[in-house]
């Protein structure tokens, strides 16, 4: 094969690989899964200056820091969102292919390297890795760097030839061995792999310089220095380290160990990992033809075990399979990543063996039938990739659930739909932690590219944001079904809203809402029919406050629904539903909260109001830090009366606080506009609730 032909084939394969990995990258996968969110959270923590050796986010899993550090640099360069966070895995996947070819050509020649490159270019697992924002995506690249450094350090080509060792390859080898713990638990075995390979060279009598021994001492010392922070952190608290995964997930019986080994080997050729985040169906890593070539390559490597080239592949394959067998009984593609480069190189050596057998049996131009077979496999795998990945896997309900595809579609709409109307977004569980300890609002933010688009978030089961005093806006549901769960007090504000077509979102997701005049009219009604009072001091009578009433921090109490005061209440019965309206005059702090307290009176004469609440609701169902001046937000507070609440007359009060409501110093002062905005207590009295016996 001429060098020109070789370059044409390599270029074509790399272009095909790039196309498969780039096509629809920002929508396939259709969002971020739990593990990706965990690594993105680590990336954002590093950007905020929280640097550590490894991180835990509350899911019992520890993740090392190297991927987060690299992704911090990459996302700073290209941006974040569904596309930006995936650029590092994409680049890593393409460089992995280039290094695979370079290593294969150095060890076995161009034909083996081309077969390995072709097999990995269209491999489903390799394509998924290049689209996955996790440390797993860089393990094959890291492994190939280690193998290539070993080959260069010992001048390993078609055969080991004598050469005085150079310092640079060994220094790189030491750095990689020391950094292996910072990437993934599976790469912890690369250091021992290098040592075993050196011992194999020594025991098989390969031509080694005496200086090689001193160089290995240099490698051990430098690797230890690089790994020192990781070693100290692990020894300080082993259970919090990523290496502890190997202990926690160990087999407990010999039967489990044997089952794990069989499943690990079977995952390559028979049945693969069943998790939708690492596999499209339970497909094995290799198809039937490539699996056959792989088996032939393994047998050839075993037969020629004294050859360092084959030993290097066998050691890498064994490291991945034994890790997989050790971690869990089932097939775990995550654990066998170190074996991935060796698998494809063994497929290449299997193809070389097949060519030699055909040539030895007198088949004229034996490379032709073999080339035709490999081209057929390449075409079938490419076509199968189209069906498995771009159709079946992409549209699978399990995949869409695992990758939060509804939020991803919403992020794409917000990013790609230019509109001068601001967005008030209803998303349930606004601040409730979910996957990777992130709320749906935070997950949506990580998926977005264009953060300049003004969005106000609310959980419309109890909160609602009316932007710019109710002026025209887009009201968007993360899930249109959430409209049915809205309380009538909030749903009433959406009456008359006009649906807007939103590509990629279910019907009814986006509404055009204009309630500016209605909100202005409501302000007049509150002033007439919903009086509010400054809190009385001692035995004085309450003084009516003129609505709206300003508070500290740029917050203004605009009014409330007086129906909360209607009728008598019974302990243990339905809650008091208090709807309050608030206006934003200045940027609000993120830790703002709204409280509604039911206060009792002492049994003295005259009765004195007690500050300790008998019933309360302390919450806020909007994101206050996002609100702008002239925005209004509505808060629905549900005040439940416990069954042992004594019958009496109680005062219904409202106010705002920061951080914790129990700390009185955190309550925002109510300001008296008529007295030059002097403080006048920390809450407003709305009226009285009468509680009668059940």
pLDDT tens per residue, range 658-692 = 999 999 999 999 999 989 999 999 999 999 999 99
Pairing outcome for strands 423-426 and 455-458: parallel
Least Cα distance to 184 among 134, 127, 251, 234 occurs for 134
| The Cα angle at residue 550 between residues 545 and 553, in degrees rounded to 5 | 155
- For range 3-11, the mean pLDDT: 90
Q: What are the boundaries of each domain within the chain?
A: 33-150+162-398, 416-513, 523-691
Distance separating alpha carbons of residues 351 and 108, to the nearest angstrom: 12
The Cα–Cα gap between 134 and 241 comes to 17
What are the pLDDT digits (tens) for 333-352?
Answer: 899 999 999 999 999 999 98
Tokens of 27: 């929508």
Average pLDDT, integer, range 248-265: 86
Q: What is the mean pLDDT of residues 258-263?
A: 88
Helix (H) or strand (E) holding 39: helix 34-47
- Residue 370: is its pLDDT beyond 90? no
Hey, is 401 helix, strand or coil? helix
Measured in residues, the chain has a length of: 694
Query: Which residues have a Cβ under 8 Å from the Cβ of 399 and sit 6 or more positions away?
Result: 29, 30, 276, 393, 405
Calpha distance 143→165 (Å, rounded): 21
Helix (H) or strand (E) segment spanning residue 409: helix 405-416
Got the DSSP string for 295-328? HHHHHHHHHTTTSHHHHHHHHHHHHHHHHHHHH-
Angle (CA) 514 526 633, round 5°: 45
**What's this model's pTM, rounded to 2 decimal places?**
0.89
DSSP state of 357: H
Q: How many CA atoms lie within 13 A of 338 on its CB side?
A: 29
What is the number of alpha carbons within 13 Å of residue 486 lying toward its C-beta? 24
DSSP state of 662: T
Tokens, residue 479:
């899930």
How would CATH label the architecture of 523-691?
A: Sandwich (2.60)
**Contact in structure between 670 and 681 (CB atoms under 8 Å):** yes
Specify the pLDDT at position 513. Answer: 96
CA atoms within 13 A on the CB side of 321: 20
pLDDT in tens, 578-623: 999 999 999 999 999 999 999 998 877 778 888 899 999 999 999 9
Q: What is the residue-averaged pLDDT of the chain?
A: 91
Tell me if residue 332 falls in helix, strand or coil: coil
Q: Closest Cα to residue 183, out of 239, 145, 153, 222?
A: 145
Lowest mean pLDDT of 149-163, 196-210, 559-573, name the range: 149-163
List pLDDT tens digits, range 484-494.
999 999 999 99
Q: Tokens 């491999």, residue?
A: 123
Encode 177-189: b = buried (16+ Cβ within 10 Å), e = exposed: bbbbbbbbbbbbb
**Cα–Cα dist 549/353, whole Å:** 86
Q: Tens digit of pLDDT for each residue in 8-32?
A: 999 999 999 999 999 989 889 999 9
- β-pair type (609-619, 592-601): antiparallel
Q: Does 595 or 415 have the greater pLDDT score?
A: 595
């Amino acid at each position: 094969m001429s060098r020109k032909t070789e370059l044409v084939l390599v270029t074509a394969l790399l272009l095909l690989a790039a196309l498969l990995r780039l096509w629809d990258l920002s929508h396939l996968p259709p969002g971020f899964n739990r593990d990706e969110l965990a690594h993105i959270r680590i990336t954002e923590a590093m950007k905020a200056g929280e640097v550590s050796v490894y991180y835990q986010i509350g899911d019992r899993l520890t993740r090392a820091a190297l991927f987060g550090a690299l992704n911090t640099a990459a996302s700073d360069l290209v941006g974040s969102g569904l596309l930006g966070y995936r650029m590092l895995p994409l680049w890593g996947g393409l460089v992995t292919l280039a290094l695979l070819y370079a290593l294969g050509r150095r060890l076995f020649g161009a034909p083996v390297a081309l077969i390995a490159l072709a097999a990995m270019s269209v491999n489903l697992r390799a394509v998924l890795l290049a689209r996955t924002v996790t440390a797993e995506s860089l393990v094959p690249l890291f492994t190939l760097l280690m193998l290539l450094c070993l080959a260069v350090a010992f001048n390993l080509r078609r055969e080991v030839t004598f050469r005085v060792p150079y310092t640079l390859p060994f220094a790189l080898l030491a750095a990689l061995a020391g950094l292996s713990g910072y990437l993934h638990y599976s790469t912890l075995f690369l250091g021992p792999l290098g040592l075993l390979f050196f011992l194999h060279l020594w025991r098989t009598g390969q031509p080694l310089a005496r200086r090689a021994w001193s160089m290995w001492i240099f490698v051990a010392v430098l690797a230890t220095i690089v790994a020192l922070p990781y070693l100290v952190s692990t020894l300080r608290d082993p259970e919090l380290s990523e290496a502890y995964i190997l202990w926690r997930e160990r087999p407990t019986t010999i039967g489990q160990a044997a089952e794990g080994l069989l499943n690990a080997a079977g995952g390559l050729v028979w049945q693969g990992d069943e998790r939708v985040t690492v596999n499209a169906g339970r497909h094995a890593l290799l198809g039937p033809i490539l699996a056959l070539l792989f088996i032939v390559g393994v047998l050839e490597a075993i037969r020629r075990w004294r050859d360092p080239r084959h030993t290097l592949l066998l050691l890498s394959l064994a490291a991945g399979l034994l890790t997989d067998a050790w971690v869990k009984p089932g097939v775990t593609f995550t654990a066998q990543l170190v074996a991935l480069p060796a698998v494809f190189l063994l497929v290449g050596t299997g193809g070389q063996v097949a060519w030699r057998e055909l040539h030895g049996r007198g088949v004229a131009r034996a490379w032709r039938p073999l080339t035709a077979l490999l081209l057929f496999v390449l075409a079938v795998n490419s076509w199968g990739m189209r069906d498995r990945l771009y159709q079946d896997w992409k549209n699978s309900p399990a995949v869409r659930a695992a990758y939060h595809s509804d939020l991803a579609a919403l992020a794409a709409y917000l990013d790609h739909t230019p509109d001068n109307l601001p967005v008030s977004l209803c998303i349930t569980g606004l601040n409730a932690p979910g996957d990777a300890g992130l709320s749906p609002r935070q997950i949506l933010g990580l998926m977005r590219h264009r953060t300049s688009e003004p969005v106000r978030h609310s959980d419309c089961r109890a909160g609602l944001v009316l932007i710019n005093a109710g002026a025209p806006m887009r009201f968007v549901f993360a899930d249109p079904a959430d409209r049915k769960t809205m309380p009538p007090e909030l749903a009433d504000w959406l009456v008359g809203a006009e649906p807007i077509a939103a590509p990629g979102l279910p019907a009814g997701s986006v509404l055009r809402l204009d309630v500016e005049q209605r909100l202005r009219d409501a302000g007049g009604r509150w002033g007439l029919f919903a009086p509010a009072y400054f809190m009385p001091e001692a035995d004085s009578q309450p003084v009516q406050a003129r609505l709206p009433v300003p508070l500290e921090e740029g917050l203004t109490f605009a009014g409330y629904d007086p129906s909360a005061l209607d009728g008598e209440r019974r302990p243990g019965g339905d809650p008091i539903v208090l709807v309050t309206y608030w206006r934003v005059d200045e940027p609000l702090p993120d830790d703002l909260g709204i409280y509604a307290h039911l206060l009792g009176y002492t049994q003295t004469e005259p009765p004195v109001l007690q500050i300790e609440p008998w019933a309360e609701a302390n919450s806020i169902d909007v994101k206050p830090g996002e609100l702008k001046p002239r925005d209004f937000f509505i808060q629905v507070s549900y005040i439940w009366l416990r069954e042992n609440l004594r019958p009496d007359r109680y005062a219904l009060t409202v106010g705002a606080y920061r951080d914790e409501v129990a700390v009185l110093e955190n309550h925002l002062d109510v300001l008296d506009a008529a007295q030059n905005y002097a403080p006048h207590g920390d809450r407003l009295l709305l009226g009285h609730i009468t509680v009668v016996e059940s």
